[in-house]
């Protein structure tokens, strides 16, 4: 895939939407006590909510934690059409009649996996409600269509992600849902940590990683001038990978940072000025 200098994380193996841990830890650079807190929550079967902007490391964190805790990981990307049946399962018509097929949540509950519901506020209300009995002392999943009451296997843990401020208020989580979770707040890494992450993930040299982080800091300042989306660590990593693969830095910054962020000619011009000020090549 990327340049030869990249130390790629071992993704483990995947079967039927379940990711099993590989030999090597997915790379994750912590910012505080999140590893300890999550470990305690796991041991006490507490559900966890990861809050934070796009591209700041939430998915990488959960991949890392599943590896540390030696648990399979089931990830569901929620969308506004996601129903309870998409999570729990449905009857399928086959030649010899109907057969029940577990959805990803039921599979995770039965095998004791960590179930990560990404952007859960996007899901339909009926889907959000099915997770409630799994988040309290009952730890059960009622499957109405089969009449089954599945008890969560040891090791099952529910984790949701949530990007505050991104969705419309009408899509906010209900208090009865929110109050079932321990919440971990994520944000963009500090400049030093972001440099370290970029070097690890792309293989670029330190000076360039510093420049990219300085540039990101200044572009993030344009939020005051109407830039709705500011660059995430994900965009910086992608830009750095282009550069590591031989794309000239200015071009990489244009296609990797500027264009994805805005269509507004004034903001684009302002970002070009910042690139000229920061990148000396
Ligand atoms: N603390 C970190 N340690 C290691 N890599 C990180 C960290 N933070 C960000 N990254 C890098 O940024 C990329 C994007 O992070 P990730 O996919 O985890 O974001 P996310 O918070 O899940 O975003 P989204 O809300 O859009 O799903 C990762 O693939 C990784 O390269
Ligand atoms: Mg993610």
pLDDT digits (tens, 9 = 90+) for 20-51: 999 899 999 999 999 999 999 999 999 999 99
Residue 5 has pLDDT above 50, yes or no: no
**Residue 279 banded pLDDT, cuts 50, 70, 90:** confident
How distant is the alpha carbon of residue 120 from its chain centre?
11
Residue range 60-86: mean pLDDT, rounded: 96
Give the ligand whose atoms come closest to the C-alpha of residue 58: 1
pLDDT of residue 137: 84
pLDDT of residue 176: 85
Atom of ligand 1 nearest to the CA of 63: 18
Helix axes 265-278, 206-220, angle to 10 degrees: 150
Percentage with pLDDT > 90 across the chain: 78
Residue 203 has pLDDT above 80, yes or no: yes
How distant is the alpha carbon of residue 111 from its chain centre?
22
Residue range 185-205: mean pLDDT, rounded: 97
Residue 3 has pLDDT above 50, yes or no: no
The answer to whether the CB of 261 falls within 8 A of the CB of 230 is yes
Residue 6 has pLDDT above 80, yes or no: no
CA of 59 to the centre of ligand 1 (A): 6
How distant is the alpha carbon of residue 152 from its chain centre?
24
CA of 56 to the centre of ligand 2 (A): 8
The answer to whether the CB of 233 falls within 8 A of the CB of 56 is yes
Residue owning the nearest CA to atom 16 of ligand 1:
57
pLDDT digits (tens, 9 = 90+) for 149-192: 999 999 999 999 988 876 555 567 888 888 999 999 999 999 99
Residue range 215-235: mean pLDDT, rounded: 92
d(CA 60, CA 91): 33
CA of 53 to the centre of ligand 1 (A): 10
Could you give the residue ranges of the DSSP H alpha helices within the chain?
34-43, 58-68, 84-88, 104-111, 125-129, 132-135, 175-178, 191-202, 206-220, 233-244, 249-253, 259-261, 265-278
For residues 229 and 152, the model is more confident at 152
Tell me, using a 6 A CB cutoff, whether residue 237 lines ligand 1: yes
Residues 6+ apart with CB under 8 A from 199: 205, 206, 209
Residue 11 has pLDDT above 70, yes or no: no
Residue range 73-98: mean pLDDT, rounded: 94
CA of 82 to the centre of ligand 1 (A): 24
β-bridge partners, 149: 142
pLDDT of residue 16: 83
Q: What is the mean pLDDT of the chain?
A: 91
d(CA 55, CA 59): 9
pLDDT of residue 100: 96
**Residue 225 banded pLDDT, cuts 50, 70, 90:** confident
Q: Against a cut of 0.85, is the pTM above it?
A: yes
Cα torsion angle, 82, 85, 86, 87, sign: positive
């Amino acid at each position: 895939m990327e340049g030869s200098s990249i130390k790629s994380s071992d993704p483990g193996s995947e079967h039927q939407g379940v990711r099993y841990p590989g030999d090597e830890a997915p790379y994750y650079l912590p910012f505080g006590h999140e590893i300890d807190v999550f470990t305690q929550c796991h041991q006490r079967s507490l559900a966890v909510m990861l809050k934070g902007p796009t591209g700041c490391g939430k998915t990488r964190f959960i991949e890392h934690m599943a590896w540390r805790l030696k648990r399979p990981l089931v990830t569901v990307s929620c969308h506004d059409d996601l129903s309870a049946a998409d999570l729990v399962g449905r009857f399928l018509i086959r030649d010899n009649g109907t057969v029940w097929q577990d959805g990803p949540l039921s599979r995770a509950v039965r095998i004791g996996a960590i179930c990560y519901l990404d952007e859960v506020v996007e899901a339909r209300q009926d889907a959000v409600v099915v997770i409630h009995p799994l988040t309290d002392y009952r730890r059960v999943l009622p499957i109405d269509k089969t009449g089954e009451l599945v008890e969560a296997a040891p090791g099952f843990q529910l984790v949701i992600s949530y990007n505050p401020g991104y969705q419309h208020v009408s899509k906010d989580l209900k208090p009865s849902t929110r109050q079932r979770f321990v919440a971990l707040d994520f944000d963009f890494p500090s400049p030093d940590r972001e440099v370290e992450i970029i070097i690890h993930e792309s293989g670029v040299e330190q000076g360039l990683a510093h420049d990219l982080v300085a540039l990101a800091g200044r572009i993030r300042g344009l939020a005051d001038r109407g830039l709705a989306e500011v660059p995430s660590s994900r965009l910086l990593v992608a830009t750095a990978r282009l550069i590591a693969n031989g794309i000239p830095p200015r071009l990489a910054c244009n296609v990797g940072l500027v264009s994805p962020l805005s269509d507004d000619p004034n903001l684009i011009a302002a970002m070009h000025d910042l690139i000229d000020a920061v990148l000396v090549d």
